[in-house]
Amino acid sequence: MSTKEELHRLREWLVRHNYLYHVLDDPEVSDTEYDARFRELEALEAAHPEWITPDSPTQRVGASPLTAFAKVVHRVPMLSIRVEKDEGELHRRVLDGLGLPMDTEVAYAAEPKIDGVAIALLYEHGRLVRVATRGDGREGEEVTQQASTIATLPRKLHGSGHPELLEVRGEVFMTLAAFATLRARASEQDEKPPKNPRNAAAGSLRQLDPRVTAQRSLEFHCHGIGEISAGAWPQRHDTMMERLREWGLPVCPDAEVVTGADGYLAYFQNMEKKRDGLSYEIDGVVIKVNDLAWRERLGFVSNAPRWAAALKFPPREAETVVEGIDVQVGRTGALTPVARLLAVEVGGVTVTNATLYNFEELSRKDVRVGDRVRVRRAGDVIPEVAESLPEHRDPTSLPFPVPVVCPACGSPVARVEGETILRCGNGFACPAQRKEAILHFASRRAMNIDGLGEKLVDVLLNEGLIGDVADLYRLQDAPERIAGLARMGEKSAENLLAAIEASRERDLSRFLFALGIREVGEATAASLARHFGAIATIMTATEEELQGAPDVGPVAARRVLEFFLEPRNAELLNRLLAEPTTGWHRTGRPTRQDHPLLSGATVVLTGTLATLTRQEAKARLEALGAKVSGSVSSRTRYLIAGASPGSKYTQAQALGVEILDEEQLKSLLA
C-alpha cells in the first residue's frame, strides 16, 4: 500500500469511528486506539503537507483568527417556536387548521428543548460550505471555521444520495461536564467564568480564533432542515431525521414520535423527570407535527410556525432569606443591586447571591434586607430573586434606598435618558470601574495579558503600582517590586512582564475592543479598524463618518464619539499611544482604495481557495471597494471559484456571470 493510500485509509477509519462514537453512541474501539491512529495521520500529513485537505479529521483544530464575522442572509428565515402555556393549545390549533375532527389522531415529533445556540449548516453536493448563526432569524453571522472544529459536525456527509443543496438546522451546545471544566480552567487562570452552558456555547462559537473554539468541546444535534433542492425526500419528520443520521449528522437520542396531546404531555412529564440525569441543560420540550405535508398546509403566523410549539418546564425555585443587598459597579459604571442570601440549594446548586438586575426591578419587587424571598435560577442557570414574601416581613423594615452616589468612589450617579440603569459617571477615576477596565483590557480576547487576573490586579492597585491600563507598561521599570508581591516570585514576575511586552503587538481591532467602549464588541471593533485603518482617524471621525463603517449603527457611533471626547479618556489614550508598539496605531490591513475593476462590483466566492481563507479573500476584496455577497444573482460581477465549487458555479454559468479562478483573483488583488 502506498503512503497516500495509507493516508486515505486512516482518514476514512477516523471519520467512521468518530461517527460511531459521537452520532450513534456505539463506539467499536477504545479512545487509546483512536488517539493512536489520529497521531499516525498527523505524522503522515506533517511529512506530506501537500496532501492535507480541509475535510481531514486533523483540520478541526481551527485556522487563523478572524477579524470579524461576515453577515449571512437566511433564504428561508430561521423562525422562533412559540411557547404555549396552555399545554393542549397546539393540538387544538393543528386540528382546527387542518379542518379535522377532534378525535383525529395526529403524530407529533417530540424532542428536548436544548439550551444552546441555533445554527444552519449549508451542504452543497454533500460538502459543508457554510455555517451561520440564527441572528435575528433573517440575518445571522458566518461561523464556518468555528463550527468546523465541532467533532460531531461532519464536513462531508456520509453515504450517497445527497441533494445538490441541503441546509440542516440544529443546536450547538456545551455539555455540563465540558462547562464544569471550562469554569475550573477560568478560575485557575483568574478569569471571569461563564455564567451558564448556553452563554459558554455562544461565546465559544463566536471566538474570532477558531482554535479557541476547538478547545471548548462543543456538541451539535440537528432538528430539521431549512432548504433543500428538488428531489425525493421523506414526508415525515422522523424519517427525515433518520436520513440525516445515516448521513452522519447527530440527532438527539431522546427524541420520540408520540400521538395526540396526551402523548406529548406524557413526553413532557417524562423529560421533566429525566432532565437532571441528562448530560446537557434543557428548559422544556419542542413538539412538531410529524407529517411534513400537514406542516405545509398549516403554514406560519407572524414569526412562528402553526405546526410547532415549545412547552417550558417551571423554573426551579426555593425560599430563603435576604441577609443584605450589595451594590456592584461594573466596567461601564452600571450599578447593579445584588442580594446576599442565606445559602440555599436551587436545582442542585448552592446559591448565596442573586441578581436584582436594576433599581427599578428592586423597587417593583420591593425586596428588603431581612425579607423571605423566592429564588429561582433564571433560564435554569442565573440565580435571581423572583419575588419577596411580605407576609413574613418584619414590620419595621424599610425599602432599600436608591443610591445617589457611587458606592465605590462617592461620585454622583445618574440615569441616562432611555435607560433603566443607574451609572457612575466618574469613568476610570472610579476604582471599581478602573479595576474592571484593567481586567477587560488584559482579557484573552482583548490584549491577552496572560497571568493578569483579578487578585493580582487588586494587589497592583493596592500597592499603587498601577492606576489605569497605561500604567501596565510602566511595570517593566520595577521587576523587583513585582517579584516581591504576594502570590508572585521572580519567575512569575518575568512571565507577567513578558506577557505585557507581547501585548504591544496586538492589532488595532483588539486594541479598540480592549478600551471597553460601550456598544463596541469584537466585531464592531474589527469593522472600525478595517474601515478607518488607523486609531488617529477613528479618534477624529464624526458621528456620521463612524456610521459609514459596515455594521456600525447610530448608538455605537455615538458611544465611540463620546468616549474619545471625554477628557480623561483622551489623556489615557495619549499615554497609551505614546508607547512603542507594532500594532495599536494601524490595522495592518490596507485601507480602502478604489480598484478600476472591483470598486462597487458584487463578488461571490465559492469552493476552497488554496492560498487564502474565505475571510481573507473577502477582506482584501472589500479593501479594494468590492461588495462580497453570499449568493449569485444577475447583479453579480464576478464569481471567484476555488476547488470543488458548489451550486453557485452552475448558477453563475446560467446567468452569464464572469468566473475567475484563484490565479485570476490573485492578479486582481495584486
Structural domain boundaries in the chain: 3-61, 73-312, 317-413, 427-505, 508-577, 602-669
Same fold? 73-312, 602-669: no
Report which of 315, 320, 335, 12 is spatially closest to residue 159, judged by C-alpha positions: 12
H or E segment at 296? helix 292-298
The CATH number, out of the four listed (3.40.50.2000, 3.40.1350.10, 3.40.630.30, 1.10.150.20), of the domain defined by the range 427-505: 1.10.150.20
Question: Of the ranges 370-379, 592-601, 639-648, which one carries the lowest mean pLDDT score?
Answer: 592-601
Across 500-508, average pLDDT: 90
In CATH, which superfamily holds the domain spanning 602-669? BRCT domain (3.40.50.10190)
- Exposure string over 312-326, b if 16+ CB within 10 A, otherwise e: eeebbebebebeebe
- For the residues of 585-632, what is the DSSP string, one character each? SB-SSPPP---TTTTT-EEEEESB-SSS-HHHHHHHHHHTT-EEESS-
Instruction: Tell me the C-alpha distance between 431 and 413, whole Å.
Output: 15
More confident call, 652 vs 243: 243
Position 66 pLDDT exceeds 50: no
DSSP β-ladder status, 422-424 and 413-415: antiparallel
667 three-state secondary structure: helix
Q: Please give the share of the chain, as a percent, with pLDDT higher than 90.
A: 37
DSSP β-ladder status, 282-289 and 256-259: unpaired
Which residues participate in catalysis according to the annotation? 113
What pLDDT sits at residue 590? 43
What pLDDT sits at residue 189? 67
Q: What CATH code would you report for 317-413?
A: 2.40.50.140
Strand partners, 346: 349
Position 23 pLDDT exceeds 50: no
**Domain spanning 3-61: CATH 1.10.287.610:** yes
Q: What is the CA radius of gyration of the chain?
A: 28
Question: Of the ranges 313-317, 368-372, 391-395, which one carries the lowest mean pLDDT score?
Answer: 313-317
Strand partners, 211: none
Question: Of the ranges 339-343, 419-423, 471-475, which one carries the lowest mean pLDDT score?
Answer: 419-423
What pLDDT sits at residue 287? 97
For residue 3, give the C-alpha cell. Answer: 503512503
Cα-to-chain-centroid distance, residue 536: 30
Q: Residue 470 has what DSSP assignment?
A: G
Decide: 632 and 607 in contact? Cβ < 8 Å: no
For residue 543, give the C-alpha cell. Answer: 458621528
pLDDT, tens digit (0-9, with 9 covering 90-100), for 153-200: 999 999 888 999 999 999 999 998 888 888 878 766 666 677 678 888
Position 498 pLDDT exceeds 70: yes
Position 64 pLDDT exceeds 70: no
What pLDDT sits at residue 612? 74
In CATH, which superfamily holds the domain spanning 508-577? 5' to 3' exonuclease, C-terminal subdomain (1.10.150.20)
Q: What CATH code would you report for 73-312?
A: 3.30.470.30
Position 589 pLDDT exceeds 50: no
Question: Of the ranges 252-261, 461-470, 618-627, which one carries the lowest mean pLDDT score?
Answer: 618-627
Instruction: Tell me the C-alpha distance between 311 and 81, whole Å.
Output: 10
Regarding pTM above 0.75, the answer is no
| Other beta carbons less than 10 A from residue 423's beta carbon | 19
Instruction: Tell me the C-alpha distance between 44 and 56, whole Å.
Output: 12
- At 71, the pLDDT band (50, 70, 90 cuts) reads confident
Phi and psi for 234 in degrees, rounded to 5?
A: -55, 145
| CA torsion angle 44 48 51 57 (round to 10) | 30
What pLDDT sits at residue 441? 94
Across 332-336, average pLDDT: 90
Q: Would you report the helix, strand and coil content of the chain in percent, each value rounded to 5? A: 40, 25, 40
